[in-house]
A and B are shown apart, each in its own frame.
Chain A
């Protein structure tokens, strides 16, 4: 368990650097983070296959829900980099620890919802934590101006590397603490409310959230695009035709 959390923390730190330091390789996208978390966490041999499946669903939903088409400056400060690993890990570890206490026949949807909920909350709280880095960066920038005027190039380099280390540390710490926090909350709360979580209710909540994810994707990909509707209809028609022809072949 501790090794799993260390791996997660390292992943969270790396993803934070990708998001905040300028790598911008898109490692910090929720789908990537959740899937990597699933590959890094080992909930036990009997759950190995689920550990690879749940994070895909969690990551896909978070990807659609957290993608914001606005420019970074006009976005609310949400930490999408650590939301994926936290959501994916909470789903997998929650399933492994709660399976005995929470009998549910929802085919894994309950754990997906747990992961998505944790990921969304982690994005909000992670945004608050990221402000700490912003505050420290302001102080560092003032110091950098003084050092640059004094010609101390070596100290400037150290300042920059220190900022890089701070991004990694905050990301790693928040991934560790966030996963632990949401996992502990799930372990404490879920067994108490499980009587309300019938398969039908879980399916209803999942479908509603999927609808919200499609709405978020619509706002991102179609609204505001010239003739976006036509292109979407073309994509849907082509897919429908393909599915129908595949269905006939199968029949």
Chain B
């Protein structure tokens, strides 16, 4: 039976209604970046070897993705993409998120940006940032900040025995200021700088000058170690000063110090990552050796 339509023409009435066109992205606001930055503070809450910071990164990205993809389906798709493997230093995640936000924005506006390109940039930038930031923050700056905090004990001098010891606040404060004076500005600028320079990731890496920072701080750490050793030795000399007894008390104090140094160094050379176990072994050895005194 012919109902008047040409042969083979589609049955217009029976066709499913066409999907509505995707809703256009909403413009990104300062507060979206602020919300993402706040969420980045928890980027490692679900850290696993399989996806590293991936789930945390997607969680932090969510306020931005929600603006860019008002449609539930596209939002879920973007969320799934960003929850995949991401591994970088937590302080540098802002740069990564900013750059990814810029590319996602282009994609959401219908630009020539496919998901694989975003993923490729994310991976390349994440590993480069980690390669530069891990040695700086984990290997140099964190121990250096601890050393500065410890040196605060000598810097602020012995407390008046009748007054509260303010070093209990000043030493931790020194530690926190030393680390965060470098880390916080990088965190603060991260998302905005990554967003502005998403087109040229090399510029992001060059602008940070992390290698230069590392060289300077490494030397600073070695210099301060010398200060620490001299401060400890001076403290020992002061504590054992007894002109009537000669150098005996000082030798008596220096000998176990040198012994502890040599034992711990020998153990740490064999197992560099076992500092806690080494300390416990030294403590036990010291307790056992003290019994023969």
Contact = CB atoms under 8 A, between A and B. Distances in A.
Mostly helix, strand, loop or mixed at chain B's interface? Answer: helix
Given A49-B164, A56-B167, A72-B138, A137 B48 contact: yes
A31 interface: yes
Contact of B275 (A23, A65, A151): A65
Interface in B244-278: 253, 256-265, 268-269, 272-278
B61 to A, nearest CB: 11
Contacts of B159: 53
Interface string B23-40: 000000000000000001
A54 B161 CA distance: 13
A69 B51 CA distance: 24
Nearest to B73: A151
Interface stretch (A95-103, A157-165, A181-189): A157-165
Contacts of A231: 219, 222-223, 226
Interface string B144-163: 11110110010000010111
Contacts of B183: 24-25
B283 interface: yes
Interface in B177-207: 179-180, 183
Contact of B179 (A26, A76, A141): A26
Interface in A130-152: 134, 137-138, 140-141, 144-145, 148-152
- Chain B, interface residues (CB within 8 Å), range: 35 or more
Mostly helix, strand, loop or mixed at chain A's interface? Answer: helix
B44 A21 contact: yes
A221 B172 contact: no
B177 to A, nearest CB: 10
A212 B261 contact: yes
Interface stretch (A4-12, A171-179, A233-241): A233-241
> Which A-B residue pairs are the 7 nearest by beta carbons?
A211-B260, A235-B226, A151-B76, A215-B264, A231-B222, A22-B44, A236-B226
Given A31-B172, A211-B259, A236-B226, 6 more contacts: A22-B93, A29-B146, A63-B149, A64-B147, A200-B293, A214-B260
Interface of B: 40-48, 50-51, 53-56, 58-59, 62, 66, 72-73, 75-77, 79-80, 83, 90-91, 93, 134, 137-140, 142-147, 149-150, 153, 159, 161-165, 167-169, 171-172, 175-176, 179-180, 183, 218-219, 221-232, 234, 253, 256-265, 268-269, 272-280, 282-283, 285-287, 289-291, 293
15 contacts: A29-B145, A29-B175, A70-B139, A156-B55, A160-B55, A205-B283, A207-B260, A208-B283, A208-B289, A215-B268, A219-B265, A219-B272, A221-B221, A235-B225, A238-B226
